[in-house]
Structure 1
Amino acid sequence: LDAVPLAQWRAIAGELRTQHGRPVALGAVRMESDTTGQVEIRYRHATVGFSLVVAPQGPGKVIGLHIVGVATAGDTLDKVASELRALPGRTAMAIARLRDGGPQWLLPASAGDASMAVGSSYKLYILAELARAVAAGERQWSDVVPLGPKSFSGRLLGWPDGAPITVHSLATAMISESDNSASDTLMLALGRYRVDAMVFETGHAMPDRALPLLTSAEAFALKMPGNADLLALWRGGSNKARHALLRDAAGRLGAQRVDIGTVAETPSAIDSAEWFASPRDMIALMHWLRHHGGDALSIMAVNPGIAPADAKRWRYIGYKGGSEPGVMAMSFLVQRQDGAWFSVSAAWNDPKARLDEGRFVALMTRTLNLLAAGADYQDESVSPKPTERNSGTGPFHPSSGPSSASNRR
């Protein structure tokens, strides 16, 4: 273990004992090659999987060590839902098996029908409208549009204004990287009213709260202290009044008027200058995309939102999430190896504090692993195979969750 400082290893081992109890036995050992393999250690309350990399030249020194899975003993969907409810602030979660006749809900309605701020998850509505337009012959995935207007975060922010780009490339950047310039460009190219119509089309339970959908630049701008008057009008306005506000105050609602540092650290107006949907609304949207998305499904699969080892449990996994200070949301469309389709969606809001993203992602990963192992078929506990928490290839370093922040946007 020369590549792992002794003090660091002792700290890691101590943390594992604190979380899972004392180690009690050596579990499965699997060789993957002459220099790599996996080993499981059974603790009192969980089984932890490790990936080892040894030097190709003797004497077999360990040069890479990673925690690749933690399987909680006796885990169930109800336990995960209970832990989610215990988080500070407000939470909501829905799980459904998707059948041709509609979703078969695996949690009570009360768990997933609350309207929540969902951050960039709203971009799935833009994707759905684009998919509808392509299917109707109104658009082609190869259509080229000029990039703009720009917004904060994302690779395209540094591209030239007006750069020609296909709508397929914009959609891929919007979903896989949560590129805000891509989403704002697509929203305006498709037409805000048409994207808003998709909110109705997919069965959103509270469209009056959700509409009109904001561009990312508009949402950032409404949160600015200098636009407090506009935020007050937005909060109290009808759908018609809000559309008028966005039109008449457009000069104050562009990215050039935003100091992104003022909203990057603490929650800001997450009760109003936001995008709203319940987990059940998001699953209804995923159900629509499953049947009508076409090429949108491959776009949703570029970034699975969870660690690669966990994603490989599924025949298909499509994902979009959203996160900002005080807001965390994750929604998945998945097909199990036996062909069954599911959707999982959850959100966590706290207007007073930043959120523990790693904790939330871990809960969602546990949910998916339970479903992959067949949790919908049985009432008894299901203990899934270990799940990856850190998929890097260098020497071990602690990780707060199974995927990077960029993967969860």
Structure 2
Amino acid sequence: MRTVPKPARILAAAAVAVTMTACVGRPAPVQATAITAFGTDIPGTPAGGQLRWLLDAAPRAPIPASELGEHFTADFLKNIPADQLNQVLAVFKDMKLVRLTQQQDRSLVARIAVGTLPYDLSLTVDGTGRISGLRFQSPTPRSWAELDERLGKAAPRTGLLTAEPAKDGTCRPLHAVAAGKARPLGSMFKLYVLGAVAERIKSGAFGWDTQLTITPELKSLPSGELQDRPDNSKVTVLEAAKLMISISDNTATDLLVHKAGRAAVERTMRAWGAADERNVPSLTTRELFVLKGADYPKHAKRYLSLSDGRQRAYLKSVVAKVPLSQVKAWTAPRELDTIEWFASPAQICRAYTGLVKLGDKRIAEAMSINDAGLGLDKGTWPEVWFKGGSEPGLIDMSFLARTAGGKTYVTTVMAVNPKTPFADPHATTELLSLARGAFTLAGDS
């Protein structure tokens, strides 16, 4: 889910902590001799020259596209356009260089600080001297104790589980923090939609190549892209599933819920352990937007006052008829404990084992498109699945990762602040670093 097009959302999805690569472009000016910035020597290498420019340029954001084109490769800017890149640089405009931790002619890693927050900045350049890769990451925790301490500071309500899935579908915990406490999921509920779709396909109800029609009544709000396609255009079940997982496309999600059936999603949630009564009825994304954003709190209060059966009727007779144009974005946490989807970190691990047990390669295709910039070494961790969720006051992340040696681990991190929104991307990068640290610690155990 995404209700507000904040820079924080864009950064979390597209740029911050995401490795971005490119391979073509013309040479950019680089420093020929060593320079000193903030008391630290920057090498006179192509990578060092671009770091010097970056430290100078970030406080000036937004930087003209022409200047960015002199310092970033064409492929980099194709993947991360100038407007998004400027939002990244604006977030880090106050960064100060603390020290260089690794350096070669065409790559380096630097420890920077934004206020009191530390980050590792990784920068690479191509043969022409232009930046082909840029990553901002919170430092990876080195122990479970450090991870727990940092998690506790991330939000008033948090949960974490790192576990090793077993063949029988259970999860063997390696480390847990409030792992049995159900919390709001945001778009992480789409794991259950994918499971319901795959189970219906396995039963022969329809196929991955079945065409879905994007009708006006099934369109939702961003995130996503299908809401912008012409009314009554077509998309396959497989394409919708990939968009639902990789870019959290809400219209794709609602199309799939409509095809599989709300009851099928509810059955999958129950079967995979997410039996919280608040999950019935299981909402579509459009319904959640209307309940929380249209004439709030009128529809929300009425809906919450009804029994399950009457809630279903209210969704069909009232909520379905509210135009999306009446939905107003909300910036403060709203109904996080009542109008959402709910599961615990332990139940999310069970959802991942359920997806694996279905044995459908299309599931793996969808789940492995986007790893959220987790930053695990691809040689050590060749396969990573990801699904997250967010709305004001909520950031959730869940991953499945497999080692080159065949070990599989699932990590879920949940952070909820029912009173205050996460106003910047630093919370997102911090949770990513905690998830990365959890896998690293699990792999070393």
Please, what TM-score do these two structures have when normalized by structure 2?
A: 0.71
Q: Which residue of 2 aligns with 1:103?
A: 171
Q: Which residue of 2 aligns with 1:218?
A: 287
Q: Which residue of 2 aligns with 1:150?
A: 219
- 1:51 aligned to 2:134? no
> Which range moves more in the overlay, 69-78 or 119-128?
69-78
- 1:317 aligned to 2:384? yes
Q: Which residue of 1 aligns with 2:38?
A: none
Q: Aligned partners of 1:120 and 1:13: how far apart in 2?
A: 30
Q: Which residue of 2 aligns with 1:185?
A: 255
Answer yes or no: is the 8 Å Cα contact 1:152–1:181 preserved in 2: yes
Q: Which residue of 1 aligns with 2:144?
A: 77
> How has the CA–CA distance of structure 1 residues 357 and 317 changed in structure 2, closer, same or farther, with 3 Å as cutoff?
farther
**Aligned residue runs from structure 1 range 66-145, under 5 A:** 68=135, 72=139, 75-101=142-168, 102-108=170-176, 111-145=178-212
Q: Which residue of 2 aligns with 1:176?
A: 246
Q: Please point out which of 387, 407, 413 is paired with 1:340.
A: 407
Answer yes or no: is the 8 Å Cα contact 1:319–1:333 preserved in 2: yes
Q: Aligned partners of 2:58 and 2:239: how far apart in 1?
A: 43
Answer yes or no: is the 8 Å Cα contact 2:293–2:328 preserved in 1: no
Answer yes or no: is the 8 Å Cα contact 2:95–2:112 preserved in 1: no
Percent identity for Structure 1 against Structure 2: 23
CA RMSD of aligned residues (A): 3.3
> How has the CA–CA distance of structure 1 residues 150 and 78 changed in structure 2, closer, same or farther, with 3 Å as cutoff?
same
Instruction: Kindly state the Cα deviation for residue 10 of structure 1 after the two structures are TM-superposed.
Output: 9.7
Q: Secondary structure at the match of 2:409?
A: strand
Q: Please point out which of 314, 317, 332 is paired with 1:266.
A: 332
Q: Which residue of 2 aligns with 1:243?
A: 312
Instruction: Kindly state the Cα deviation for residue 241 of structure 1 after the two structures are TM-superposed.
Output: 2.9
> How has the CA–CA distance of structure 1 residues 92 and 356 changed in structure 2, closer, same or farther, with 3 Å as cutoff?
farther
Answer yes or no: is the 8 Å Cα contact 2:220–2:285 preserved in 1: yes
> How has the CA–CA distance of structure 1 residues 48 and 223 changed in structure 2, closer, same or farther, with 3 Å as cutoff?
closer
Instruction: Kindly state the Cα deviation for residue 67 of structure 1 after the two structures are TM-superposed.
Output: 5.7
Q: Which residue of 2 aligns with 1:388?
A: none
> How has the CA–CA distance of structure 1 residues 65 and 87 changed in structure 2, closer, same or farther, with 3 Å as cutoff?
same
> How has the CA–CA distance of structure 1 residues 355 and 312 changed in structure 2, closer, same or farther, with 3 Å as cutoff?
farther
Q: Which residue of 2 aligns with 1:405?
A: none
Q: Secondary structure at the match of 2:154?
A: coil
Q: Which residue of 2 aligns with 1:281?
A: 347
Q: Which residue of 1 aligns with 2:302?
A: 233
Instruction: Kindly state the Cα deviation for residue 94 of structure 1 after the two structures are TM-superposed.
Output: 1.5
Residue deviations 1:85-126 (CA, integer Å, cap 9, x gap): 222332222111112242111224x52222211111111111
Unaligned runs of 5+ in 1: 57-61, 379-409
Answer yes or no: is the 8 Å Cα contact 1:76–1:375 preserved in 2: no
Q: Aligned partners of 1:216 and 1:125: how far apart in 2?
A: 13
Residue deviations 1:259-296 (CA, integer Å, cap 9, x gap): 44432x22222222212221211111011111115111
Instruction: Kindly state the Cα deviation for residue 9 of structure 1 after the two structures are TM-superposed.
Output: 7.7
> How has the CA–CA distance of structure 1 residues 231 and 371 changed in structure 2, closer, same or farther, with 3 Å as cutoff?
closer
Unaligned runs of 5+ in 2: 1-30, 32-48, 61-91
Answer yes or no: is the 8 Å Cα contact 1:196–1:211 preserved in 2: yes
> How has the CA–CA distance of structure 1 residues 357 and 276 changed in structure 2, closer, same or farther, with 3 Å as cutoff?
farther
Residue deviations 1:161-204 (CA, integer Å, cap 9, x gap): 22122111111111111111111111111111111110111112
Q: Please point out which of 326, 329, 338 is paired with 2:396.
A: 329
Instruction: Kindly state the Cα deviation for residue 242 of structure 1 after the two structures are TM-superposed.
Output: 2.0
Instruction: Kindly state the Cα deviation for residue 65 of structure 1 after the two structures are TM-superposed.
Output: 8.7
Q: Secondary structure at the match of 1:93?
A: strand
Q: Secondary structure at the match of 1:329?
A: strand
Q: Aligned partners of 1:47 and 1:228: how far apart in 2?
A: 40
Q: Which residue of 1 aligns with 2:418?
A: 351
Q: Aligned partners of 2:416 and 2:235: how far apart in 1?
A: 35
Q: Which amino acid aligns with 2:415?
A: W
Answer yes or no: is the 8 Å Cα contact 1:209–1:276 preserved in 2: yes
Q: Which residue of 1 aligns with 2:269?
A: 199
Q: Which amino acid aligns with 2:184?
A: A
Answer yes or no: is the 8 Å Cα contact 1:77–1:367 preserved in 2: no
Q: How many residue pairs get matched?
A: 357
